[in-house]
Amino acid sequence: MGNLKGKIVFITGASAGIGQATARAFAREGARLLLAARRLERLENMKPELLEAGADAIYTLALDVRNREQVEQQIRSLPEEWQPIDVLINNAGLSRGLDKVYEAKVEDWEEMIDTNVKGMLYVTRAVVPGMVARGRGHIVNLGSTAGEMTYPGGSVYCGTKAAERAINDGLRQDLLGTPVRVTSIDPGMVETEFSEVRFHGDKERAAKVYQGLTPLTPADVADAIVWAVSRPAHVNIARVLMTSIDQANSLLFHRKA
Ligand code: NDP
Ligand code: 8X3
C-alpha cells in the first residue's frame, strides 16, 4: 500500500488502548479514519487531536461487533465516500476473568467468544467482499501471545486468540490470487484498559499485572501495524509476534523485585 495518505482505515475498538493508538498512528500518515466502538462519545472526543495530528477526515460509528445485524447495517449504510475501505483493523476485543475453566462464569466465556471471534468474523464478512471487488485492501487482525501458548485461567481467552490465528491464516489462503493482504499482529502484554476490563473494573488487581516489568505500550503495537500495512503491495506480512524485553512468552516474565 505504501503511501497511506487519504486511505480509508477502519479500526474497531478505537476508543481505547491499541485501537486508539492505531488511530493516532494512521492520523500521522494522513489517512481517513473510520473509527468504531460502543463508546461513541470517546471517539468524538478524539477527533480534534486526530485532525491536529494529520488525519485527512474522520467518521465515527457506534458499533457493538457482537451484533451481526448492526455490523451489517452500519457498514452497508456508510456514506458513499466512506464505503471503499482500504484497511480493516479488527482490534475490538477483551478478556473476562482469570478463572479455572471448570469454575469460570459462562457469561464471561460468551462475551469473549462473541466479541473476539464472532465479532471479528462479522466485520470481516461485511467488509472484505468490497475489498475483493475493488481489487485492493488489507486486513489486520489482533492476535496475541495468548494464541500461541495457553496460560492457567486463560483457557477461553487464549482459545479465542488461537481461533483468531486460524481464521487469519485461513483468510489469507482464501484470498490467495487477489491483491488483498492479511496480517495478524500478536503482542504480549500491553498496558491498556485490558486488565481492568478482564477483572471487571478492579483497578488494583489490574495494576498488579504490570508491576515490576516494562510492558509494551499501545503505540509500540500501532507502530507494528502501520509498518505491516505500509510494506510494498506485493509483500504480505503474515504475522508479527512481539513482546516487551521483559516477556519471553505467555508464562515467562522478568519482574524486578
Ligand atoms: P482495551 O480494553 O484498552 O480496548 C479494547 C477496545 O475494544 C475498546 O476500544 C473497546 O471499546 C473495544 N471493544 C470491546 N468490546 C467491543 C464490542 N463488543 N464492540 C466494539 N468494540 C468493542 O484493550 P486493548 O487495547 O489492550 O485490546 C485491543 C485488542 O488487542 C484486543 O483484541 C485484545 O485482545 C488485543 N490484545 C491485547 C493485549 C494486551 O495485553 N493489552 C495483548 C495482545 C492482544 P468500547 O468499550 O468503547 O466498545
Ligand atoms: C493479551 C496478552 O498475556 O494478557 O492478549 O493474554 S495476555
User: 47-84, pLDDT tens digit by residue?
Assistant: 999 999 999 999 999 999 999 999 999 999 999 999 99
Distance 107 CA to ligand 1 centre (A): 18
How far apart, in whole angstroms, are the C-alpha atoms of residue 171 and residue 141? Answer: 11
Residue owning grid cell 477502519: 10
Q: Is 250 in the pocket of ligand 2 (CB under 6 A)?
A: yes
10-36: average pLDDT: 99
Distance 125 CA to ligand 2 centre (A): 26
Structural domains present in the chain: 2-242 (3.40.50.720)
Instruction: Read off the pLDDT band of 257 (50, 70, 90).
Output: confident
Q: Is 20 in the pocket of ligand 2 (CB under 6 A)?
A: no
User: Which of 168, 189, 194 has the most ligand 1 atoms within 8 A of CB, as the residue to mutate?
Assistant: 194
Residue 117: HSE in the Cβ half-sphere, 13 Å Cα cutoff: 18
Distance 194 CA to ligand 2 centre (A): 8
Distance 189 CA to ligand 2 centre (A): 5
Nearest CA to 75 among 32, 1, 12? 12
Catalytic site residue from 59, 122, 157, 210: 157
113-122: average pLDDT: 99
Residue 246: HSE in the Cβ half-sphere, 13 Å Cα cutoff: 14
Distance 94 CA to ligand 1 centre (A): 5
Q: Residue 147 CA: which ligand 2 atom is closest?
A: 5
Q: Is 189 in the pocket of ligand 2 (CB under 6 A)?
A: yes
Distance 235 CA to ligand 2 centre (A): 28
Burial class (CB in 10 A: 0-12, 13-18, 19+), 45: exposed
Q: Is 195 in the pocket of ligand 1 (CB under 6 A)?
A: no
pLDDT, one tens digit per residue, over 171-200 is 999 999 999 999 999 999 999 999 999 999
Q: Could you tell me what percent of the chain has a pLDDT over 70?
A: 99
Q: What is the pLDDT at residue 2?
A: 52
Averaged confidence pLDDT in the chain: 98
Q: Are strands 57-62 and 239-242 parallel, antiparallel or unpaired?
A: unpaired
Helix axes of 155-174 and 120-134: crossing angle, nearest 10 degrees: 10
Based on the residue annotation, tell me whether 157 is a catalytic residue of this protein.
yes
Q: Residue 216 CA: which ligand 1 atom is closest?
A: 40
How far apart, in whole angstroms, are the C-alpha atoms of residue 154 and residue 164? Answer: 15
Indicate which residue's Cα is closest to atom 10 of ligand 1: 13
Indicate which residue's Cα is closest to atom 9 of ligand 1: 13
How far apart, in whole angstroms, are the C-alpha atoms of residue 101 and residue 142? Answer: 23
Q: What is the pLDDT at residue 1?
A: 46
- pTM score, whole prediction: 0.98
Indicate which residue's Cα is closest to atom 5 of ligand 2: 144
Q: What is the pLDDT at residue 191?
A: 98
Q: Residue 195 CA: which ligand 2 atom is closest?
A: 4
Question: Is the pLDDT reported for residue 86 higher than 60?
Answer: yes
Burial class (CB in 10 A: 0-12, 13-18, 19+), 173: exposed
Q: Which three cell numbers stand for residue 66?
A: 457482537
